Structure 1
C-alpha cells in the first residue's frame, strides 16, 4: 500500500506538471492573438525557448536556492534508492523529480508573463538572458521564503501577525511576482513606436486574431485546474474545494469583465484569467461564494487597470500583464485574508495582516528585481529592437520568416 501511495503521488504530480506545461501554449496563443501579425512568430518562439532556458536555470541553480536540493548525484539515488551512506536522499519512485518538474512549470511562468508585456519591441537574446537571471536567481529567492520558510520569513510573519502568509497556489509567489517584474521590464523598454501621438493621445492597435486570443485563454483556463488543484502535491491532499473555488472565481471574472469591458472579447477572455490569478492564494480556504466575489473583483480590476495603463499612465503593457497578474495577484493575496476567515465562511487559519504583509513583500521584491535586472541589461547590452527592426516586425528581423510565409511570397 505504501508503494502504491507513492506511485499515485508521482502520477498525480506528473499530471499536474503536464497540465501546467500545457498552459504555456495558452500563454503563447494569448500573445499571438493580441500582437500584430508581424510579431506572431516571435511570440511563439519566445515562449518555448524561454521555457527551455528556465528549465536549465531552475534545474542547476534555482531549485537549489529555493529548496536546498540539487540533482548532482546518480540516477539511482535520484530515483529513491539508498545512497552510499545508507540514507535515502530522495523519495522513492522519483517523486522529488516530478515535484521539480511541477514547480519548474510555475517558475517558467515568470518569463511567460513578462513576454506579453514587452511584446513587439524586445530583442530576443537579451530577454533570454533576463529569463536565466530571473528564474535561476530572483524568483527562487522569494519562492523559497514563502514555500520553504527560507530566512525564517514565515516564522517572522506568524510571530508578528498570528498566522503565516498563505499562498496555496501562487497568487503572489508566481503571478504578482511575475506581473510586478514585468512592470519594470515594460517601463525600461518604453512604449511601442506609433502607440501615442505627439500630444499623448492613444493610437489604437487592434489584436491580430481574436480566435487565437480566445484559444490561449481557454488553454490557460483548463490548465489552471492543474495549477491550483495539484498544488496539493499528493493524492491525500486533494480537495474539491480548490476545484470549485477556481471555477467560481473564473466565471466571476468573466461576468464582471463582460460588463466593465462593454462586451469586448479581449476583456472577457482575460477576465477569466484575472479571476483565476486572484483565487490561487486562497483557493483551499475560501468558501465558493467568497471565491466568486474575489474573481468578480479581479475582472473589474483588470479592465480598470488595463485602461489606466494604456490611456492614462502611458504604460504600453501589450497584453496587460501588470494589471492581470500584478494587480489581480496582489488583490488575491490580500483577499485570502478576508474570504478565508471563518467569519466569512472560510476554513480559517489566515490573518488579514499576515496576507497584507506577505503580499506587499512580494510586490516590493518583484518591483525592485524587475527594474534592476532590466535596467542593467538596458544600460549594458541593450534590450530594445532598433527602429527599423521594430517597424519590420520581430518575425522578419529576428526569425527571418513571418507567420504566413505564402502571403509574404505573394506580396513580394
Structure 2
C-alpha cells in the first residue's frame, strides 16, 4: 500500500514538474516573440534608410544579451551558474534551464527598449558592447535585489515598513530600468541632424504605419505571456493577472486615442503604456484599478512624448523613456495605490515602499547607464558621423537598403 502511494506521489510530482516546465517554456517563447514586436515597432517608426538597422540591432542585441546573461547576468542576479554536467542541468525536466530562458527574455528587453530611443544615429558595435555590460551587470544588479532578495533591500523594506517592494512582472525591474537607461544613452548621443530647423523642432513622420501597428500587436499579445507566466509555475497562474492586463491595455488604447487626437502612432503605443504600467501590480489590483492605471499611463505617455519632442533636446525616437521609464515608474507606484484593500486590491503592499523601490531602480539605471555609455562615449564614440547619418544606418553600417532600387 505504501509503495503504491509512493508511486502515485512520484507520478504526480513528475507531472507537476513537466507541467511547470512546459508552462514556463511557453511563457519564454511568448516573451521571445515580443522582441519581433520591438523590432517592427522600431522599423515602422524610423525613416526608410534606417529600417534594416532597426531589425539587425534587435536580433544582434538578443544574441549578445544571451551570452552576457548566461556567463554573468544570471549569476549576478541569482547566484547560479551552468558550469556542471548536462545530466545535473537537466534535473527536474530542466525547469531551471527554462527559467533561465524566461528571465533572459526579460533581460534582453532592456537593450530592445534602448534601441528604440537611440535609433537612426548610433554606431553598431559600440552599442553592442554597451548591451553586454548592461545585461551582464547593471540590470541583474537591481533584478537580484528585487526578485532574489540580494543585498538585504527587501528584508529591510519588510522589517521597516511591513512589506517588500512588489513588482510582479517588471514595471520597474524591466521597463522602468530599461527606459531610464535609454534616457542616458539618448542624452549622450544628442539630437539627430535636421531635427531643429530655423530654431524650430521638426518631427520625422513614421515610415510605415502598418509595420508600427504590427509591432504593437505582437507586443500586446506577447504581454499576456510576460505577465501571466511571471507566476513561473502552473499552480500560480491567475486569471486576475490576465484580466488586469486586458483592462489596462484597453484603458491605454482609449486614452491614447482621445488625448492623442486619433494619431495612429499614439493609438498603437497606448496599449503598450497601459501594459507597462500594470505589470507590477497585475496580481494585486482590482480590474477597475488596472483600468485607471492604464488610463493614466497612456495620458502620461502622450503628453510627455509630445512635450519632449517639441520642447526639449531629448531626441528619443520611439519615446521609450516616457513609455517604459516613466510609465514603468508610474506602474511601481500604482501597485502601491490600487493594490490596497481599501481600493479593492489584494493588500500586502506599501505605497512608501513602492515609491522608494521605484526611485532605487531609477538611481541604479541612471548611474549604471552613465558609467557604461559614458565610458564607451569617451573611448570609441557612440554616434555615426554626420555623413553616415545622412546616408542612413542601413547603407553606412550594413551596406544594404531595405528596398530594391529596381
Same fold (TM over 0.5): yes
RMSD: 0.6
Deviation readout 1:332-373 (Å, 9 max, x if unpaired): 000000000000000001010010110111011111112221
What residue number does 2:6 align with?
A: none
1:310 aligns with 2:321: no
Structure 1 distance, partners of 2:37, 2:29, is 13
State the partner residue of 2:220.
221
Given that 2:332 and 2:355 are in contact with CA atoms closer than 8 Å, whether structure 1 keeps it comes out as yes
Which one of 18, 25, 32 corresponds to residue 36 of structure 2? 25
TM-score (norm 1): 0.95
The residue that corresponds to 2:230 in the other structure is 231
The CA distance in 1 between the partners of 2:312 and 2:393, in whole Å, is 26
Does the Cα contact within 8 Å between 1:162 and 1:354 map onto a contact in 2? no
Q: Number of residue pairs matched?
A: 395
Checking the alignment, whether the CA contact within 8 Å between 2:179 and 2:324 is kept in structure 1 is yes
Partner of residue 153, structure 1: 153
Instruction: Could you list the structure 1 runs, at least 4 aligned residues long, displaced by more than 4 angstroms after superposition.
Output: none
1:144 aligns to what?
144
Per-residue Cα deviation, 1:69-109 (whole angstroms, up to 9, x for no partner): 000110000011xxxxxxxxxxx110000000000000000
After TM superposition, give the deviation of residue 235 of structure 1 in Å: 0.3
Q: Corresponding residue for 2:5?
A: none
CA deviations over 1:254-289 (Å, ceiling 9, x no partner)? 111111100000000001000000000000000000
Would you say the 8 A contact 1:79–1:94 is kept in 2? yes
Query: Given the alignment of the two structures, is residue 292 of structure 1 paired with residue 303 of structure 2, yes or no?
Result: no
Aligned partner of 1:346 in structure 2 is 345
- Mapping of residues 3-402 of structure 1, within 5 Å: 3-80=14-91, 92-199=92-199, 201-402=200-401
SS of residue paired to 2:196:
coil
Q: Which runs of 5+ in 2 are unaligned?
A: 1-11
Residues in 1 aligned to 2:183 and 2:198: alpha-carbon distance in whole angstroms: 23
What secondary structure, in the 3-state scheme, does the structure 1 residue paired with 2:197 have? Answer: coil
Structure 1 alignment gaps of length 5 or more: 81-91
Q: Provide the C-alpha distance between the structure 1 equivalents of 2:352 and 2:203, rounded to a whole number of angstroms.
A: 41
Following superposition, the deviation at residue 198 of structure 1 comes to 4.5
Q: Is the 8 A contact 2:227 2:242 kept in 1?
A: yes
Which segment is superposed worse, 189-198 or 137-146?
189-198
TM-fit CA distance, 1:186: 0.2
Aligned to 1:87: none
The question of whether the paired residues in 2 share the 8 Å contact of 1:175 and 1:325 is answered with yes
- Shift of the alpha carbon at 1:204? 2.2
